[in-house]
Amino acid sequence: MKRIIVSFLGLWLLYTNPLYSDENESDWMQYGGHEGGGRYSPLNQINKDNVHDLEVAWTFKTGHLDRVPERLSFLRKLVGFQVTPILLPDDVGGHLVLCTPFNEVIALDPTSGEQRWFYSPEINLMPLAGRFNCKGLSQWRDPEANPDELCAHSLFMATNDKRLIALDGRTGTPCPGFGENGQVDVTPYIKALEPTNQIRSSQLKSPPAVVNGVIIIGGTGNKFKDASSINGAVRGFDARSGEFLWAFDTLVRDQNDPDALPYSVGGANVWTTMSVDSERDLVFVPTASASPNFYGGLRPGDNRYANSVLAIKASTGELVWHYQTLHHDIWDWDLPTHPILVDVTTKEGVIPIVIQLGKTGMVYTFHRETGEPYFDIEERPVPTDGIVGDQLSPTQPFPVKPPPLIRQGISPDDAWGVTLYERESCREMITNARYGGMFTPMSTKGTVMYPQVGGGSNWGGGAFDPVRNILITPVAQVPFYVQLIPEDEVDKKLAKEPMAGNPMGPPGLIKGTGYGLFQKPLLSPLYTPCTKPPWSMIVAVDMITGEILW
């Protein structure tokens, strides 16, 4: 069979994927390759000896920006094209399927790039909640349906305007038995659990997880600018009917629990993708920090279930186990990528484990059924002298193995630059801020974060080679500067600008906290990072010994 490498806006994507079955071992059928998210292919047609011979076979332009109405032309700058296309089985057409940032779904011929069908849900573009994005779709074959029935093989997509949509994989026709004409409005289910006023800011951008006929979705919110960001609950829906099945709140609300938080605290959401173990009826959920990102004075305690790996029983929504990788996060070190489910082959036999990568460069590993660490994890003391009113955790979990994949912590001696001028400028910026180990608290003086909010392994995640038991992941290491500013010192006019509070933008307000926020990468006057290269790497880890190979 001829294999095609497809280029979208300069990104090369190879559609090969092991589902460890004869039928699908070379088809990239889910966001992470297969349901466990391992991103591994056994194919060897393309290798280091012939990769230089690759040529562009075809190019397809989605045209999504051209379809934005002229009166809303400013929205064309507020999109992110980060989709991972998936391949449908031959008996469903063998289409290559992707979504645009505006949730239009396009099916292509993978060998020619010709469009086979197009679907648009015509999402609401206003009021603007945030950047438009659609990172992918999910597919599911109904084992109880006649293969020739409409929607016997379905595609599922979560939309920017909070809908869950089901399409027939072969034709792109909305599934008539799913919700109302193929779609479910998720908003009422958010409101049922969310008595705050931040629902408008929420969006659904990542592909749903599908486990044995249950669709699971997370969502995003504006949690770095608002203490009362939307609730981060995970929800399950019936894949045939769209019926709501369950919700799991990712923050403790039971007022009889000492760790309970009020509904004015949100976040702990799942903005990235999830992974699935259908055999065990489990969905593995990586959560973000509670809101707001950089100040925790309104959310005392560890904020249980935030910054955690959750193993949830897909059929019921019951929590089977969880592990919190970061207590009381004030650094925006969300878990940004799905847990990788792999089987490690050891002398004792095959061990099913979970690998969780993250922004800190640390690799957390767990036994899949119990959540017990595969490599040991120990609590170590960290600084607690943060912003007045915040209550930081006295310890944080550190994996004993593998070692950190990136540098952690910074001092003025780490200042770097191509020229003496750059180096001394960087040294001065670090000296004038608060600096130290990786868990150095936020401050009104300004804190240098290293790792940073976009460091380590971000939403791109990693891949696992099951033949050699090797984990491979890209990582980034560039310092970052964050300053909390008393609200009365923030320029209120600048704080209304669209980029206020965003990296490289003017200071913005964090609603409900009494503070403003300024954040930026720590760069020299000539815009090079203030620490020595490399600023990004690809790292390989032996998952038997826990050692970094290269």
Mind listing the pLDDT tens digit for each residue in 346-396? 888 999 999 999 999 999 999 999 999 999 999 999 999 999 999 999 999
CATH H-level superfamily of 26-41+61-70+77-323: Quinoprotein alcohol dehydrogenase-like superfamily (2.140.10.10)
Query: Where in the chain are the domains?
Result: 26-41+61-70+77-323
The Cα angle at residue 59 between residues 58 and 64, in degrees rounded to 5: 155
Q: How many CB atoms lie within 10 A of CB 125?
A: 16
Angle at CA 271, nearest 5°, toward 267 and 276? 120
What pLDDT, in 10s, does the model give residues 447-483?
999 999 999 999 989 999 999 999 999 999 999 999 9
Nearest to 158 by CA among 105, 103, 199, 229: 103
Residue 457 main-chain phi, psi, to 5 deg: -95, 110
Backbone angles phi, psi at 412, to 5 degrees: -60, -25
| pLDDT one-digit tens code per residue, 529-538 | 999 999 999 9
Query: How far apart, in whole angstroms, are the C-alpha atoms of residue 260 and residue 251?
Result: 8
Distance of CA 230 to the CA centre of its chain: 17
Q: Give 37-86 pLDDT, tens digit per residue.
A: 999 988 889 999 999 999 999 999 999 999 999 999 988 888 989 999 99
pLDDT of residue 24: 54
* CA–CA gap between residue 455 and residue 169 (Å, rounded): 37
Exposure of 52 in the CB half-sphere (CA atoms within 13 A): 2
- Give the CA distances from residue 109 to residues 86, 345, 430, in Å, rounded to whole numbers and listed in that order: 12, 38, 53
Interval 388-439: pLDDT, tens: 999 999 999 999 999 999 999 999 999 999 999 999 999 999 999 999 999 9
The residue whose two tokens read 């009104």 is 444
Residue 291 has pLDDT above 70, yes or no: yes
Q: What is the mean pLDDT of residues 340-348?
A: 93
pLDDT band of residue 195 (cuts 50, 70, 90) is low
Q: List, in order, residues 6 or more apart from 53 with CB less than 8 Å away.
A: none
Share above pLDDT 90 across residues of the chain, in percent, rounded to a whole number = 81
Contact between 338 and 284 under an 8 Å Cβ cutoff? The reply is: yes
Judged on CB neighbours under 10 Å (0-12, 13-18, 19+), 238 is: middle
Work out the burial of residue 520: count CB atoms within 10 Å of its CB; fewer than 13 is exposed, 13-18 middle, 19 or more buried. Answer: middle
Closest C-alpha to 341, from 87, 15, 19:
19
3-state secondary structure of 316: coil
Identify any residues that bridge with 364 across adjacent strands, giving them in sequence order: 356
d(CA 372, CA 359): 22
pTM for the model stands at 0.94
Does residue 204 have a pLDDT over 70? yes
Query: Residue range 517-527: average pLDDT?
Result: 96
Quick one: average pLDDT of 267-285?
97
pLDDT value for 26: 56
Percent with pLDDT over 70 in the chain: 95
Q: How many Å apart are CA 221 and CA 201, to the nearest integer?
A: 6
pLDDT digits (tens, 9 = 90+) for 98-142: 999 999 999 999 999 999 999 999 999 887 778 899 999 999 999
pLDDT digit string, tens, across residues 3-42: 444 444 333 333 333 334 434 555 799 999 999 999 998 8
Cα 290 from Cα 303, distance rounded (Å): 7
Output the pLDDT for position 259: 87
